[in-house]
């Protein structure tokens, strides 16, 4: 019987791959990226800041459109009671609704960010 050939040598060039693991040191966690201040973590935080800024700028634009014409309305108003009605119903009610919208939007942005970071 002829002797068996020697076993072929294999060079391992990467970390071992196990099913169910996406990262060599453990499962991939966006929170780790943020804690370690990597470029990807910075991108996650920047996306939260941008979404919050978009909501704030939208509120600012609506507020400017709501308040800017008030001097013209008051200058042309013949009665002081009309001014109070405009302030009470034309400004106060939209301000409350705008504030509620902004708070809900900001909370939703933060909730989405936490869901992304916590992998839920």
Which residue would you say has higher pLDDT here, 2 or 75?
A: 75
The b/e string for 8-37 (b: 16+ C-beta within 10 A; e otherwise) is eeeeeeeeeeeeeeeeeeeeeebebbbeee
Which residue would you say has higher pLDDT here, 28 or 74?
A: 74
Mean pLDDT of 66-78: 86
Q: How confident is the model at residue 36 (pLDDT cuts 50, 70, 90)?
A: confident
Q: What is the pTM of this model?
A: 0.65
Which residue would you say has higher pLDDT here, 11 or 103?
A: 103
Indicate the range of 11-15, 17-21, 26-30, 82-86 predicted with least confidence: 17-21
């Amino acid at each position: 019987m002829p002797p068996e050939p020697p076993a072929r040598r294999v060079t391992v060039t990467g970390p071992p791959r196990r099913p169910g693991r996406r990262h060599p040191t453990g499962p991939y966690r966006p929170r780790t990226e943020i804690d370690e201040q990597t470029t990807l973590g910075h991108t996650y935080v920047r996306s939260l800041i941008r979404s919050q800024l978009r909501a704030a700028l939208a509120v600012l634009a609506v507020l400017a459109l709501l308040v800017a014409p008030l001097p013209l309305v008051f200058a042309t108003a013949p009665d002081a009671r009309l001014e109070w009605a405009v302030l009470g119903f034309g400004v106060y009610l939209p301000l409350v609704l705008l504030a509620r919208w902004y708070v809900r939007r900001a909370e939703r942005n933060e909730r989405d960010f936490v869901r992304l970071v916590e992998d839920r």
